[in-house]
């Protein structure tokens, strides 16, 4: 499955009043994360992604992802257990003249596709050899 969320920053979305974008995903494993920053974003648009009160990306708490004319893309293995899982992004600009759309994409697959065998099943299969 592929989820895509987008938001265009406004002059109200500053460091002291970050925009919160709720993102709902089904159960499975997030295996791919892409954050698209358009040309002229000038490293002014900042993104942080959370699950509950825990910052997922970037991993270092308090930091943000920012870029210009770039897709920040990385592989991941983050399992979501519930039928509906809420992640949220905080998005803001450090320059109110830079007001562009930012797109966040997630690749999500069932655990059985990403990891066909559990560790115990793998050990059993190896023992049978």
**pLDDT per position as a tens digit, 86-97:** 999 999 999 999
Q: Which is nearest to 72 in space by CA: 49, 98, 95?
A: 49
Percent of all residues in the chain with a pLDDT value above 70, rounded to a whole number: 100
**Predicted TM-score of the model (pTM):** 0.90
> Taking the domains of the chain in order of start, what are their residue ranges?
2-127
- DSSP secondary structure letters along 6-48: EEE--TT-BTTB-EEEEEEE-SEEEEEEEEEE-TT-TTTEEEE
SS3 119: helix
State the pLDDT at residue 35.
99
**pLDDT per position as a tens digit, 17-66:** 999 999 999 999 999 999 999 999 999 999 999 999 999 999 999 999 99
State the pLDDT at residue 129.
80
Residue 123 to residues 44, 114, 119, 120: CA-CA distances in angstroms?
49, 18, 6, 5
The mean pLDDT value of the chain amounts to 96
Decide: 52 and 38 in contact? Cβ < 8 Å: no
Residue 10 banded pLDDT, cuts 50, 70, 90: very high
What topology does CATH give the domain 2-127?
Answer: Jelly Rolls (2.60.120)
Residue 28, both tokens:
């499975």
State the pLDDT at residue 128.
83
């Amino acid at each position: 499955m592929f989820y895509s969320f987008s938001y265009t920053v406004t002059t109200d979305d500053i460091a002291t009043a970050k925009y919160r974008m709720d993102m709902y995903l089904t159960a499975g494993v997030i295996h791919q994360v892409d954050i698209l920053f358009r040309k002229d974003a000038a490293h002014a648009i900042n993104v942080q992604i959370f699950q509950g009160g825990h910052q997922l990306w970037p991993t270092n708490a308090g930091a943000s992802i920012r870029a210009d004319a770039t897709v920040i893309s990385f592989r991941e293995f983050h399992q979501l257990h519930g039928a509906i899982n809420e992640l949220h992004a905080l998005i803001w600009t450090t320059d109110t003249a830079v007001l562009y759309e930012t797109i966040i994409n997630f690749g999500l697959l069932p655990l059985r596709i990403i990891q066909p065998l559990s560790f115990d099943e793998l050990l059993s299969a190896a023992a049978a050899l």
